[in-house]
Amino acid sequence: MKETSNRRSVIVGIFIFIGLLIVIVGVLTLGGQKKAFVQAVRVTATFKDIGGVQTGNNVWYSGVKVGTVKKITFLEHDKIEVAINVEEKSARFIHKDVIAKVGSDGLVGNKIISLAGGSDNVPAIQDGDTLRVAVNISPDEIMTTLQENNKQLLAITGNLKTLSQRIVDGEGTLGKLVTDESLYNNLSQTVSTFEKAASNTERLTKGLADYAANLRREGTLANDLVTDTAVFSNLRSAVAQMKNVAGNANDVVNNLKSTTQNLNDNLNSAKSPVGVLLNDEQSGEDLKQTLRNLNVSTGKLDEDLEALQHNFLLRGYFKKKAKREEKARKDSIKNAQKQ
């Protein structure tokens, strides 16, 4: 009986020992996961909305778990202070200008505090430091934005539906282009005309290129003007001579103009003889009278000469003169016949 009681006591003691051992291992394991027995640096960050972060949630830096959320405290209605314990061995890699934000452990996992950024030239974090906080967009805001986008997308879809229906009904330029065959034919003809114009332009360009090539061919005037300095020099000399001739011609024209002006002035002047004859009526009448007198005097002179020829004193002279003239005429006829 006594041995049985001792055996039961031993068995109970063994079970109690095993239970205590399990409890100790569990506490140590959970403490290791929660960093409860690790020396840490405590820093704080103030958020407007922590999005469901709770005490004991993990803190990550560059994808590595470096601490836990130790305490959450309301400072004001829109200011929530979160105390964070960061492992001392990891704190030396986290700098004071690091940025804290609320994140998720996976798509639907627990909420975490994520640390990111930091500059090498800034000291590492220390106890009591306050970290900068990134502004987070809450899921409600995301859903609100998605709802607004959905409304706008619905409106755009309705507009596209209306536009496509109008095109199908043949409304507007695009609708007529799709449904009106005559408009399509006109557009096709226009495109064909553009193609012909492009072809003509290509042929014209080719012709100009051939013409330019002919101009560059040796022996042509254009090529000689471009390449032969002697031809160009002669041409320049000819141009200079033509310029001199043009200058001389201009001088001649100026002289003619001056002479004509002087002649015109003399013709219109009452001091010159010609001007008097052209402009003075009395002088013209006197000249006419003088000519009439000369005609009358000439007639009378002819009568006097006729009378002298019949005068017995001069009759022999005129007869001898007539004989000499007749003899000279006959001699000239004979000489002409001999030749």
pLDDT one-digit tens code per residue, 209-262: 877 777 667 766 666 666 666 666 777 787 888 888 877 878 887 888 877 777
Q: Are 131 and 100 in contact (CB under 8 A)?
A: yes
> Which pLDDT score, from 0 to 100, does residue 108 have?
60
- Sole residue written with tokens 């020396």: 39
Per the structure, the complete domain to which residue 236 belongs is given by 225-279
Residue 185 counted as domain residue: no
Are 302 and 233 within one domain?
no
Cα–Cα distance measured from residue 43 to residue 99, given in angstroms and rounded to the nearest whole number: 12
Nearest to 180 by CA among 193, 171, 192, 190: 171
Helix (H, G, I), strand (E, B) or coil at 105: coil
Helix (H, G, I), strand (E, B) or coil at 336: helix
Cα–Cα distance measured from residue 84 to residue 238, given in angstroms and rounded to the nearest whole number: 102
pTM, rounded to two decimals: 0.36
Are 229 and 300 within one domain?
no
Rg (CA), the chain: 67
- Sole residue written with tokens 């001392």: 88
Residue 10 counted as domain residue: no
Residue 62 counted as domain residue: yes
The distance from CA 280 to its chain's CA centroid, rounded to whole angstroms, is: 79
Confidence of residue 280 (pLDDT cuts 50, 70, 90): low
Confidence of residue 200 (pLDDT cuts 50, 70, 90): confident
Residue 96 counted as domain residue: yes
Are 302 and 230 within one domain?
no
Cα–Cα distance measured from residue 82 to residue 101, given in angstroms and rounded to the nearest whole number: 11
Are 255 and 275 within one domain?
yes
Residue 26 counted as domain residue: no
Are 229 and 299 within one domain?
no
Task: Please check the confidence at residue 98 and state whether its pLDDT lies above 90.
Answer: yes
Helix (H, G, I), strand (E, B) or coil at 268: helix
Task: Please check the confidence at residue 70 and state whether its pLDDT lies above 80.
Answer: yes
Q: What percentage of the chain reaches a pLDDT higher than 70?
A: 70
> Which pLDDT score, from 0 to 100, does residue 220 have?
67
What's the chain's average pLDDT? 77
Residue 27 counted as domain residue: no
Q: Rounded to 10 degrees, what is the CA torsion of 28, 31, 35, 38?
A: -50
Are 267 and 303 within one domain?
no
Are 239 and 300 within one domain?
no
Cα–Cα distance measured from residue 167 to residue 171, given in angstroms and rounded to the nearest whole number: 6
Using alpha carbons only, what angle is made at residue 131 by residues 126 and 132, rounded to the nearest 5 degrees? 155
Q: For the chain, what is the domain count?
A: 3
Residue 235 counted as domain residue: yes
Are 302 and 267 within one domain?
no
Residue 179 counted as domain residue: no
Cα first-last separation, the chain: 207
Tens digit of each residue's pLDDT (9 = 90 or more) over 282-319: 766 777 777 777 777 777 776 666 666 666 566 666 67
- Sole residue written with tokens 């290509």: 202
Sequence letter at residue 286: D
Helix (H, G, I), strand (E, B) or coil at 49: coil
Nearest to 136 by CA among 42, 43, 46: 46
Which span out of 14-23, 280-289, 317-326 was modeled with the highest average pLDDT? 14-23
Are 303 and 268 within one domain?
no
Are 49 and 60 within one domain?
yes
What is the average pLDDT across 271-280? 61
Are 57 and 99 within one domain?
yes
Are 255 and 289 within one domain?
no
Instruction: Name the domain boundary from 136, 157, 188.
Output: 136
β strands within the chain, DSSP E: 40-47, 58-61, 64-76, 79-87, 99-104, 111-116, 132-133
